[in-house]
Amino acid sequence: MDKWFAAGHDVIASAALRTVEDLRLPLRLVSLGFGPERSVVQMATALLGWVPCPGCTDIGTTATHICAAGAAADDRALATPEPGLQAAREPASPAPAAAMLAKSGPARGRLLPGADDPTWEAVPLHLRQRLRVPAHGLVSPARGMLTARENRPLLSAVRAASRMRMTGAHWIVLLTADRESLGSRSQRAQLLYAVLEQVAAQQAVRAGETTS
């Protein structure tokens, strides 16, 4: 292949390529909503049963892990323990909240996951970011219907959206809130409502898949 780099530029391009490659994984994690405050490893541990190895720093499924420190297989958690043994080792966890049919708000007529359903953790980062600006405007300071005593849960949920610290309970409050409760003539409320409609459509599809 003909040389098409100026002298020394091939070294610079090689270093730049390595830097871009190193950024690929962090960018993918951020695009999925993971970061310092939300660990993808913790989610894998909670949802997929990943376990830490006592002999090294590895975390994952023990079925494919070979401990570099030579820890005995019996010292590591079993990847697929016998049913009776697993029940004896692990405390019973509470049953997840059932899906609910929204009777009002952006999700009206749609089936939403329960407040503790892990699908709320998977709301795309770009939708959370689009909620942040109008939510901040609505609570800085809060006005109108948002300040009504009966709308305190809604006000709390909007504040959580402005900080991008949403729980499943916050999402459900927002997705079932009437448009007027956010501000009947507010442009920020309209922007917030439009994004919530997108979230509702996405979460409703997932709820349908998990309940089919």
Six token digits for residue 56: 């090294």
Distance (Å, whole) CA 11 – CA 16? 9
Residue 54 lies in a domain: yes
Cite the beta strand spans of the chain per DSSP E: 51-52, 59-60, 100-101, 111-112
- Number of structural domains in the chain: 2
Predicted local distance difference test score (pLDDT) of residue 125:
92
> Would you say 123 and 199 are in contact if contact means Cβ atoms under 8 Å apart?
yes
Predicted local distance difference test score (pLDDT) of residue 97:
60
> Would you say 174 and 158 are in contact if contact means Cβ atoms under 8 Å apart?
yes
Residue 163 is which amino acid? R
Q: Do 53 and 129 have their domain in common?
A: no
Residue 3 lies in a domain: no
Distance (Å, whole) CA 11 – CA 95? 57
Q: Do 108 and 73 have their domain in common?
A: no
Going residue by residue through the chain, which has 212 residues, state the pLDDT in tens, using 9 for 90 and above: 455 556 666 677 777 777 766 667 777 777 677 776 777 777 767 666 677 776 666 666 655 555 655 554 444 443 444 444 444 445 555 555 667 888 999 999 888 888 998 889 889 999 999 999 999 999 999 988 999 999 999 999 999 999 999 999 999 999 999 999 998 788 999 999 999 999 988 876 554 454 44
Distance (Å, whole) CA 97 – CA 118? 11
Predicted local distance difference test score (pLDDT) of residue 100:
84
Structural domain range at position 74: 9-89
Distance (Å, whole) CA 188 – CA 186? 5
> Would you say 200 and 123 are in contact if contact means Cβ atoms under 8 Å apart?
no
